[in-house]
Amino acid sequence: MKVLLVFAHPERHSLNGALRDVAVAELEARGHEVRVSDLYAEGWKASVDRADFPEMAEDERLRVAGASGRAFTAGALTEDVKAEQEKLLWADTLILQFPLWWYSMPAILKGWVDRVYAFGFAYGVGERSDTHWGDRFGEGTLAGKRAMLIVTVGGWATHYAPRGVNGPIEDILFPINHGVLYYPGYTVLPPFVAYRVDRMDEGGFRQVADQLRERMRSIETTEPIPYRMQNGGDYQVPSLELRPELGDPGASGFALHVDRMRVGLIQL
């Protein structure tokens, strides 16, 4: 297996750095090939701007999707972005590792998504018809590959429980799991989340490291989150609303887009 781990923590000598070493070591011990994109170490440019599209005329108005699509087609994106796209095509498994800051990714990783996910590469792919609204949410450039998150959190697990004040961790990570990973085609595995990382002692670390090793050992066989395919018949086109007869009655929000029937079947 070929694994790309995108690492977004500013301190190599951190819990995140130690967990990265654990993950990479375990994957390599199982014979997998691992590459790491260490965004801070590489000085990754976070903000999309005109400099991302070197062939744009100076007085041209920047429309990001259009400029991105033209540059992608022409092979004229910047070298840092092209290198990341090549790694994504090379890998059959993607891991994004980051500390949860303000209920989302650190800016540097958001900027990796904003810049690497070019139009024509990660979105704007596929045709639109009466039954098909582009290749996305289960289809797309990265279909057939697996992806998962490794996330560290300062707060307590109960604060992110189904009734916890922050909202459930599944919902907090939905815009990433569903919106960033599933969108361009990845099969998305349940995230690995470590809580209360600011107060972790040696024993706590050993436990978390063991759990992470187990996740790395089973990365090829772990059951994915059963998100519904956009073009698989569950959604009306072009409104892209879930058909009225689907989903638990009264269910709402992100949970509707997980096919609980499939979860049930898997559990049998």
Task: Please report, as ranges, the residues that interact with a second copy according to CB under 8 A.
Answer: 10-11, 13-14, 40, 44, 46-50, 61-65, 99, 101-108, 110-111, 113-114, 117, 137, 154, 156, 158-159, 161-168, 171-172, 174-176, 178-180, 183, 198, 230, 235, 238-242, 247, 250, 252-257
Query: What's the closest the beta carbon of residue 13 comes to a second copy, in angstroms?
Result: 5
Is 85:118 a contact under the CB 8 Å cutoff? yes
From residue 98, alpha-carbon distances to 5, 63, 68, 108, 117 in Å are 10, 29, 26, 10, 18
Taking the least distance from each CB to a second copy, the nearer of 49 and 223 is 49
Rounded CA-CA distance 136/198 in Å is 37
Query: What's the closest the beta carbon of residue 256 comes to a second copy, in angstroms?
Result: 6
Taking the least distance from each CB to a second copy, the nearer of 25 and 48 is 48
Taking the least distance from each CB to a second copy, the nearer of 62 and 265 is 62
Query: What's the closest the beta carbon of residue 67 comes to a second copy, in angstroms?
Result: 10
CA-closest candidate to residue 209, choices 77, 75, 65, 17 = 17
131 token code pair: 């039954």
Taking the least distance from each CB to a second copy, the nearer of 124 and 213 is 124
Query: What's the closest the beta carbon of residue 136 comes to a second copy, in angstroms?
Result: 9
End-to-end CA distance of the chain: 28
Query: What's the closest the beta carbon of residue 193 comes to a second copy, in angstroms?
Result: 15
Query: What's the closest the beta carbon of residue 119 comes to a second copy, in angstroms?
Result: 11
Rounded CA-CA distance 89/143 in Å is 10
Taking the least distance from each CB to a second copy, the nearer of 27 and 123 is 123
Rounded CA-CA distance 124/109 in Å is 21
Q: What is the DSSP letter of 122?
A: T
Query: What's the closest the beta carbon of residue 254 comes to a second copy, in angstroms?
Result: 5
Taking the least distance from each CB to a second copy, the nearer of 64 and 143 is 64
Is 88:4 a contact under the CB 8 Å cutoff? yes
Q: What is the DSSP letter of 230?
A: I
Is 184:122 a contact under the CB 8 Å cutoff? yes
Q: 2-7 and 93-99: which strand pairing? A: parallel
Rounded CA-CA distance 200/184 in Å is 35
Is 3:32 a contact under the CB 8 Å cutoff? yes
